[in-house]
A and B are shown apart, each in its own frame.
Chain A
Amino acid sequence: MSFVLPIGPQHPALEEPEHFRIEVKGEEIVDVDIRLGYVHRGIEEALSKRSYMHGLFLAQRVCGICPVSHSLAFIRAVEEIAGIECPDRARYIRTIGAELERIHSHLLFAGIAAHEIGFTTLFMLFWRDRELVLDLKEMLWGNRIHSSETTIGGVRWDIKPNQVPKVLHNLATLEKEVKHYIDVVGSDRTILARCANIGILTKQMARELCAVGPTVRASGVNWDIRRDDPYAAYSEVPFKVIIERDGDVLAKILVRLREVLESIQMIRHALDAMPGGPIRAEFKGQVQKGEATGRVEANRGELLYYILSKGGEKPERVRIRTPTYANMPTVKPMLVGGTIAEVPIVLASIDPCFSCTDRITVIDGNTGKSKIIAKSELRRLHK
């Protein structure tokens, strides 16, 4: 989620690529239209013109918040077609990388959600704690964001024994803080007022719209690719799939915070149970004819890569379906019937992964007049 701050409400000459057009009657939202394309770069087409190794660097950069997930899904498909078996130790390291990413992403989301309901201090606290994860990424793999630790055939760097104490130390601090945040979120009256019973997605609607991830687990859908279509070391590392029932914004926040605690446990287990051995199988660059579909449970939900190979060093076709793409249709039922003041937090609750504009067009269904409202104005409506 980017913080593209608004230009301001009075710019009639500007034709903005607004993402959401919201129709209201009085205070109540009656319709929502979603417009995408702002961040469309043309990646699928580009991937069919690059070798697999080059393509991996591009695939990672579909999203700067979940590059590990994109790498894993892409690699899962490539390794299946090419018949490459990732060594056991590398599978555990991949799991650790993926769970560290989940923690940083969920804390990022929590901070943004806090910001959207006006809790700037809480936003700062979440992002301060998130630095503990980024420090670990930098120590283990040399980069805070695009760490590229996962590669075709395995991982690039081993986790050394002298790095483990720092990992465990940071995780212990995080665990304490997150447990505290869960208490706060579940009991603070203002947070409850702005998040409980807001932006509800029913279980039935979640399934019908084919939505994914914590967004649907918050509505009671018991589904997680790590358990149901396992990859990396997920069939060996025990974990609980976190479910909430109410489907509101509060449930979506709690699912993610509880998943952070679960991820911390998983990393501890993986560090402990990791077998020895090599960390990378050979990949010579050529992939035989075939096709495969790689799926992972990214931070936001099911991420799917379909790859078709006609033999050679470049794929014929790469299809990417990101979790936010799958969750877009849920925005309308979550917003309709609510008020425009809720829009920022309800949009944030699906943890959207695109540069979400801070400007939303609101159309008055009675008069037909439309105006552009800055998100910062919508946040102030609560006061």
Chain B
Amino acid sequence: MKAEQVVQLIKDYVKDVKVTNEWRVTAITDEQHYRGALSTLKTNDILHLSTITGVDLGEEIEVIYHIDCGGPLLNLKLFLPKKTPSLLSVTDIFPGAVLYERDLMEMLGVEVKNHPDPRRLFLPEDWPKGNYPLRKEAKK
């Protein structure tokens, strides 16, 4: 699929689309529309979610879905309020998201609702609850 085609597919669910070149597209969405964008991609045979990245930006937590669109890589972003970052799991659309969402939960404290298995992934069992290593305020 070409970059322009990707943009066309998701245009109803995003604002601020940037096509950097034929290999990279960035689009900003929000909590109401991100699942629509992901479902549309899936029904158009785009099946590969490369990973999910969480970034603590201070006031907000940015969540990026990196999706391989058979050519261009789409970075689909949304911004969650730092105080109550919460979204719905996308494992019903992309089963491969199962580990990345656990990672997001334990490293950044994002609440991922409906996750089939919300256990810790990488941190030791005795790591203090509420201490999220990738948040700016994380204590060692």
Contacts and interface: CB of A to CB of B under 8 A. Distances in A.
Interface of A: 36-37, 40, 42, 44-45, 207-211, 223, 228-229, 292-293, 295, 302, 304, 306, 308, 316-317, 319, 321, 325-326, 328-329
B120 A306 contact: no
Given A306-B53, A325-B51, 8 more contacts: A207-B47, A207-B48, A210-B49, A210-B96, A223-B48, A228-B71, A229-B71, A319-B53
A302 B51 CA distance: 11
14 contacts: A36-B121, A37-B122, A42-B133, A44-B107, A210-B48, A229-B68, A295-B50, A302-B68, A306-B53, A316-B55, A319-B51, A319-B53, A321-B100, A326-B50
Identify the 6 closest CB pairs spanning chains A and B, nearest first: A210-B96, A321-B51, A40-B122, A319-B53, A37-B122, A207-B47
Contacts of A321: 50-51, 66, 100
Nearest to B67: A210
Contacts of B41: none
B95 A295 contact: no
Interface of B: 23-24, 47-51, 53, 55-56, 64, 66, 68, 70-71, 73, 75, 94-100, 107, 120-124, 133-134, 138
Contacts of A223: 48
B96 A293 contact: no
Contacts of B64: 306
A329 B98 contact: yes
Given A36-B122, A306-B66, A329-B98, A295 B73 contact: yes
Nearest to A204: B47
A65 B51 CA distance: 22
B96 A211 contact: yes
B contact face: mostly helix, strand, loop, or mixed: mixed
A317 B51 contact: no
Nearest to A306: B53
B133 A45 contact: yes
A81 to B, nearest CB: 11
A52 to B, nearest CB: 18
Nearest to B47: A207
A126 B68 CA distance: 34
Contact of B95 (A44, A292, A317, A329): A329
Contacts of A306: 51, 53, 64, 66, 75
Contacts of B124: 37
A270 B121 CA distance: 41
Contacts of B50: 210, 295, 302, 304, 321, 326
B100 to A, nearest CB: 8
A44 B134 contact: yes
A293 B123 contact: no
A36 B95 CA distance: 19
A295 B68 CA distance: 11
